[in-house]
Amino acid sequence: MRFQTPLLPAVLIRRYKRFLADCQLPDGREVTAHCANPGSMLGLAEPGSAVWLEPNDDPKKKLKYGWRLVEVAGGTLVGVDTSVPNRALKSALEARQIAALSAYETVRAEVKYAEKSRIDFLLSQPGLPDCYVEVKSVTLSRQPGLAEFPDSVTARGAKHLGNLADMCRAGHRAVLLYLVQREDCDRFEIAHDIDPIYAAAWDAAAATGVERLVISTHISPQGVEIAGVIAG
């Protein structure tokens, strides 16, 4: 998935109200960017951090910049936009590039299911049970090489796990796909200490047959590309 317009380097001044970030451009101008990330962004929103913004000229958008990447220690770029995983994965699923899900020819996004919920992707193929795929963006890393989810308490995430478990009980296939938006991790774990309720929901879902698939990415100011499977 390539960004629609070239990204601009900037320096983060502050992130606030979850979805807003004040940044300084190289020419000294201060702008407010949309931060498409409802999580805590633990370790990713330190003032003074190098960030990358995507400009837009859409008259319907109040903010003319979107925060897409942040650079952390060691020069690693981390994708902070939680809408990116679905966009990157859609083309990969349609091209059948993800081996664990390559048996499915039909890919539908944002399909209604359960109560007041939509599944990120519903995969289908004659002769196979439908496959419900929920996607989560992973950006947290508190130990070298280890990616973790969630980065804050997520009641919504626990609800999604319950919905996936229901699909398994109904005879379908269900997958929680964690997309790691950083290149410095080769392992994955659930962050039990951050949200023990989510961790318990995962254990309960796994007991019904919900599968866990952790996918890595290649990240650059040009775009985010699907890489390979990592241990999780």
Q: What is the pLDDT of residues 32-65, one digit of tens each?
A: 999 999 999 999 999 999 999 999 988 888 999 9
Q: What angle do CA 85, 90, 43 make, to 5 degrees?
A: 5
For residue 88 the two structure tokens come to: 């990157």
Tens-digit pLDDT profile for residues 179-222: 999 999 999 999 999 999 999 999 999 999 999 999 999 999 99
Model confidence at 232: pLDDT above 80: no
Overall average pLDDT of the 146-170 stretch: 97
Q: What pLDDT score was predicted for residue 127?
A: 97
> What are the residues facing 21 on neighbouring strands?
15, 33
Query: pLDDT for 131-140, tens place per residue?
Result: 999 999 999 9
| High-pLDDT (> 90) share of the chain, % | 93
Residue 5 has a pLDDT of 93
* Percentage of residues of the chain with pLDDT beyond 70: 100
Please name the amino acid found at residue 225: E
